[in-house]
Chain A
Amino acid sequence: MVVLKIIENIIFGNSGTWAVISGVLYIIGLWRIFQKSDVPGWKALIPWYREYWLGKCAGKEQEGRFLAVAQFIYTAGNIAVELIKNENARLFVAVISIMAWIIYAIYSIQVYNGLIDVYNVRKRWLWLWILAEPIPALIWGFNDKYQPSWKAGEFRDNAVSHVRGGEVADMGEGLTVNLNKREVPDGLFQKKVLLKDIHMNIKPGRLVMLLGGSGAGKTTYVNAINGYEKADAKVILNGRNIYKEYSKMLYEVGFVPQSDLMRGKDTVLHTLIDYANLRLPSNFSDQDRKDRVEEALKLFGLGPVRNSMVSQLSGGQRKRLSIAMEFISNPSLFILDEPDSGVDGVMARELFKQLRKVADTGRIVIAITHTPDRVVELFDDVIILAKDSDRIGRLAFYGTVDECRKFFGKERMEEVVKTINRPEEGGDGRADEFIIKYAQEVQHV
């Protein structure tokens, strides 16, 4: 009897005749719902895993994950209560089980709500899902009237998914990127590909603009090339493999994050001195360090506020300080994630002019920006990343600014971005077309 109860608990999340009947109906309904979302129906058979996939079908993957874990704990608690003899231990397990059930109930509501949004039906369905989940599962599963507006299914077989960029050889100087894939764990047993097939050589002294719609993988890309988030890739900077020599090379790469990550209750001078101490080699004398700090203060126009608290600086001053912090170590590769965000047009232009000066000293400077046209003439090259129909970030173009205009047939960079953006993002949805075109061009070259 106990064994039967345990099996019922595992498969249906509870035991008893009614639990078995409703559990079977629920699984049948889910099977069909999964199929409608391009998810294999058999996934509804696997306890806990089905909860995760239900969350995914509802566009609530994270919630689905919590749902699965909470249900696992609740079920395990139910089974443990049956088996454990010690009264204190039973009580303890029962409390844990109740907590898990509460979490399960709350996340269930969130997932059902998501499902209602995806199926675009009235909110009152929520009550039916809460009170008798097999009924809506069967109705939505078997009635063709109910169709999801978005599908959680795995990758489809598109033309673009077969396109490969050509690998590039290391030039010995500058930056060579051969990124095959950047993927992250997605759920319990699978991975999600964020970037695929990005290959390029960037020569020293180039100021490079990195463009792309939101979610195209711009930040993921810069994190992958500076070695912070390693990808299936080979990244060579001036003949050295960044991934293999990361602990040494990290001083060679300056990364300015999108938000100004600095301690507000510290002075500008102290912030720069500390960074100089942290980033400059030990053979730098105190005088050299001071000189370097003074140089950074002068170059980024921070002299007048050197003794001010960081929290008292304006948005533009903070941004310049954030750049100066990285500049101070004199990196060979300088990467900036939206350095012009929160900065007015004039200030942004001044900022990019300073970056131009940095690039002119032989450094590679890569900057992500969302307002490219006001500064595009300062840049040498453009990298365009686009989200293909599999929602994977791909390389749609890399070349000079003029080549870019010619390639896309657009004068302004914002128009280029609009061309490759998906329709739901207000774009033309032509990303696949340019990804394929660029890959073919590169291979022919």
Chain B
Amino acid sequence: MSEASVATQRHLKLRYLGRGGQIIIYLGKLLRGFIYQADWKVMPMAALIAGLVSMVVRRDFFLTMEGTLKGAFALTCVSIWNGCFNSIQVVCRERDIIKREHRSGLHISAYIFAHMVYQALLCLLQTGITLFVCQRTGIQFPQQGLFTPWLIVDIGITVFLITYASDMLSLWISCITRSTTTAMTVMPFILIFQLVFSGGIFTLPQWAIKISAASISNYGLKCIAAQADYNKQPLVTAWNSIVKVEKQEFNATVTVGQILDFLQKDDVSLIHDFRATEFNAPTTGELLSMFGLGANDPLGTGLPSFNELLSMGTGMLPENAAGGENTVSSEESAPRTLTFGQVIDELAAMESVRNIRDKSYNFSTTVGQIIEMIGREKMQNYVQDMTAQSNQNADYENSKANIFGYWGNISIFVFVFAILSVICLEFVDKDKR
């Protein structure tokens, strides 16, 4: 029997390097590639992208609903971009080499797992760089996170998962495509899909919402928005729009009834506050001069003057505990403490006032004057709170269960794409020579 034949018999009984050992070999190759093959270039690129994006979103991130959504979207985009660029070419550029090595005993699963470990390290570094740059360029991360004492760490986990899931998606594409040119042609479509179907910035129709469930960005954006406590923040768009038209003049006609009904809405915080406001009941003269009205209908409206209105109210107002006399009965009466709510309610209850509920007043004013009349800060808070209330989103709920759910969903993408990568690359032998 020849030497070779003996060797064959002997070799058949031997064990060869298993998947675990192969993972270590390929991890070593990849780490050497990081230095020699200039794979490290993705690190400064991550810093550059994070810096550019951060400069745009830093002012409002974590401060307003709009800013938070914009920031969450931007951070998601940065993560997806980083992840995609990490691995889009790594397999297809050495496809023929893999084919040869597969023929020499390489296990595809070991090869992909080595990539998973290596890419996880890359993504971790990129996450650190991205968040560091964001913080340095002025994004104020709130202190307390849900899972750790630092929100930046919580968000870091999300950013890492988004980057890693995108990385695995690109790895899969790299396993399917047979050349770097094809891979780079496919990538923009993947990015566009991820951006459009993130669901935060673009309003999606019902059918598209179902598709968005298949996008990493959808969960990533929601997760960051939830961590940033989106629902607790004010919505400033409406207030900003109001301020823009501050000088706008307008004419309006209101009836006495409308005014009274509006001023009796105690469930509206702004009105409630107004109604609760105490004041020293003025004399009739003071009231008249306050509103610029004379005693006998100086505007010629044909409507009852304030003097008349107040006369109608004489005797109807409760006896003031402080002085025992009618609050607005005469110009000389001493001022006493009342709330606006009391006055309004009394007026509304008066039969004589009820009779004139349909009487209308025409007036001309500016948006700014109304704001000033109510109080700028109070008005701003009211508008922002009201619009924020109507913009609450259960998807952005700042709870551990919610965020953990998103992390879970993104992690599923990681494993699905890794498994798909193995399956697809197993067909490398079928490539045409």
A residues with CB within 8 A of B: 88-89, 173-174, 204-205, 219, 223, 226, 228-229, 237-240, 245, 248-252, 255, 257, 259, 261-263, 265-266, 270, 274-275, 277-283, 309, 325-326, 329-330, 332, 361-364
Contact = CB atoms under 8 A, between A and B. Distances in A.
A46 B17 CA distance: 53
B367 to A, nearest CB: 41
Contacts of B16: 251, 278-282
Contacts of A88: 205, 207
Interface stretch (B103-111, B128-136, B353-361): B103-111
A282 B103 contact: no
B93 to A, nearest CB: 10
Interface stretch (B3-11, B182-190, B327-335, B388-396): B3-11
Interface string B85-104: 00000000010110111011
B8 A326 contact: no
Given A238-B9, A265-B36, A278 B4 contact: no
Contacts of B106: 278
Contacts of B33: 263, 265-266
A278 B103 CA distance: 11
A239 B17 CA distance: 24
A259 to B, nearest CB: 7
Contacts of A265: 32-33, 36-37
A238 B3 CA distance: 10
Contacts of A329: 104
A205 B2 contact: yes
Nearest to A245: B12
A278 B105 contact: yes
Contacts of B429: 228-229
B104 A204 contact: no
Interface string B11-31: 110111100011001001100
Contacts of A173: 1-2, 5
22 contacts: A88-B205, A174-B5, A205-B4, A237-B8, A238-B9, A240-B8, A240-B12, A251-B16, A255-B104, A261-B97, A262-B97, A265-B32, A274-B25, A275-B104, A277-B21, A278-B104, A281-B15, A281-B16, A282-B14, A329-B104, A362-B3, A363-B4
A278 B37 contact: no
Contacts of A257: 96, 100
Interface in B383-430: 429
Nearest to A332: B4
A266 B29 contact: yes
B3 A361 contact: yes
Contact of A278 (B2, B9, B17): B17
B29 A261 contact: no
**Shortest 4 CB-CB distances between A and B: which pairs?**
A281-B14, A238-B8, A332-B4, A265-B36
Nearest to A325: B104
A362 B4 CA distance: 6
A235 to B, nearest CB: 13
Interface in B99-157: 99-101, 103-106
Contacts of B21: 277
A353 B207 CA distance: 69
A281 B11 contact: yes
A189 B245 CA distance: 72
Contacts of A228: 103, 429
A217 to B, nearest CB: 11
Contact of A309 (B5, B15, B36, B100): B36
A363 B3 CA distance: 8
B5 A332 contact: yes
Nearest to A228: B103
Contacts of A274: 25, 28-29
Contacts of B100: 255, 257, 261
A168 B432 CA distance: 31
B8 A252 contact: yes
Interface in B194-208: 205, 207
Q: Size range of the interface on B?
A: 35 or more
A238 B10 CA distance: 11
Contacts of A281: 11, 14-16
Given A204-B4, A282-B17, A309-B36, 18 more contacts: A173-B2, A226-B103, A228-B103, A240-B12, A245-B12, A250-B105, A252-B11, A257-B96, A257-B100, A270-B32, A274-B29, A278-B25, A279-B104, A279-B105, A280-B16, A281-B16, A282-B15, A332-B5
A330 B96 contact: no
Given A88-B205, A252-B8, A282-B16, A326 B99 contact: no
A408 B101 CA distance: 39
A111 to B, nearest CB: 20
Contacts of B2: 173-174, 204-205, 238, 362
B3 to A, nearest CB: 4
A330 B433 CA distance: 26
A275 B28 CA distance: 13
Nearest to B106: A278
Interface in B283-341: none
B188 to A, nearest CB: 16
A278 B29 CA distance: 13
B251 to A, nearest CB: 44
A263 B94 contact: yes
A282 B13 CA distance: 11
A209 B29 CA distance: 35
B104 A326 contact: yes
Contacts of B17: 277-278, 282
Nearest to B32: A266
A263 B91 CA distance: 12
Contacts of A263: 29, 33, 94, 97
Contacts of B32: 265-266, 270
A332 B8 contact: yes
Contacts of A330: 7
A407 B22 CA distance: 49
B269 to A, nearest CB: 42
Contacts of B4: 204-205, 238, 332, 361-364
B298 to A, nearest CB: 62
A60 to B, nearest CB: 16
Contact of A261 (B14, B25, B36, B96): B96
Interface in B14-70: 14-17, 21-22, 25, 28-29, 32-33, 36-37
A88 B207 CA distance: 8
Contact of B104 (A89, A174, A239, A250): A250
A205 B1 CA distance: 12
Contacts of A240: 8, 12
A191 B220 CA distance: 48
A261 B100 CA distance: 7
Nearest to A275: B104
A240 to B, nearest CB: 6
A277 B24 CA distance: 10
A205 B7 CA distance: 13
Contacts of B11: 248, 251-252, 281
B282 to A, nearest CB: 64
A246 to B, nearest CB: 10
Nearest to B93: A263
A329 B11 CA distance: 10
B31 to A, nearest CB: 11
A140 to B, nearest CB: 31
A233 B104 CA distance: 21
A385 B12 CA distance: 32
A362 B3 CA distance: 6
A263 B4 CA distance: 30
Given A219-B433, A240-B12, A282-B16, A204 B96 contact: no
B37 to A, nearest CB: 4
